[in-house]
A = this chain, B = another copy of it.
Amino acid sequence: MPTSTVENYLKAILVRSADADAAVATGSLAEALGVTPGTITTMVKSMASRGLLEHQPREGVRLTDSGRAHALAVLRKHRLVETFLVQVLKMDWAEVHEEAEALEHAISERVLLRIDAILGHPDADPHGDPIPSAKSPQFDRDSSLSLATCEAHRQYRVERILDQSPSFLEFIQRTGLMPGSTVKVAERDPASGVVRCELRDHPATLGLPEAAKIEVTEAAARPRVAAEAHPSSGSARKPR
């Protein structure tokens, strides 16, 4: 049974290795996990010896099948817990990430199953991040359209917020840019680095790097976010 530290390492590697089978640089892990590079080397060696990943010294790290499976399980827990905290415990959208960070290591499979059932087997968490499913643990990072890249003057639908920091999430909430909302880019000025948007009834302004963290799809596309807390309502989109 991996410790919660190891689980965090796995998760960090997974979310950094979604695209391609490129190795993940140990330096980026040190960054992400807030430890020194030496610590990463040590841990990575020990995890390699446990068969969770492969380590190409001086090049990077790649999850094995077993490591990836563990990592997906942790990610699934994290995202289901986040969804649960928002929909059932009515907690604030912006603060659940940190809570889930702790809970994901303490929740048993039994509890997770109950939560999943109560939520009606959602396939995305409140930030629009996909919830890896128990049976089909694909981890998709598909849609590459964001407010930084989409066309101007067209309606888009916010699908996903690629940043968990409370301050950013609070900004999103304040301006109504949560997943599910409809938005149009009014103007994008590379010179000033400013993106101006139109929401339903008000405008919003943000920087280009920030706009890139807001994934969108064409307004017509089918919704992806978890259903409103009602297990019974016909929105269980993932029935098997």
Contact = CB atoms under 8 A, between A and B. Distances in A.
A105 B85 CA distance: 17
Q: How many copies does the complex hold?
A: 2
A contact residues, range: 10 to 19
B89 A115 contact: yes
Nearest to A89: B114
Contacts of A115: 89
A99 interface: yes
B102 A108 contact: yes
B91 A88 contact: no
Contacts of A103: 103, 106-107, 111
A86 to B, nearest CB: 11
Interface in A104-124: 105-108, 110-111, 114-115, 118
A118 B107 CA distance: 20
Interface of A: 85, 88-91, 95, 99, 102-103, 105-108, 110-111, 114-115, 118
Shortest Cβ-Cβ A-B pairs, 10 listed: A106-B106, A89-B114, A102-B106, A103-B106, A99-B108, A99-B111, A91-B114, A89-B111, A90-B114, A105-B106
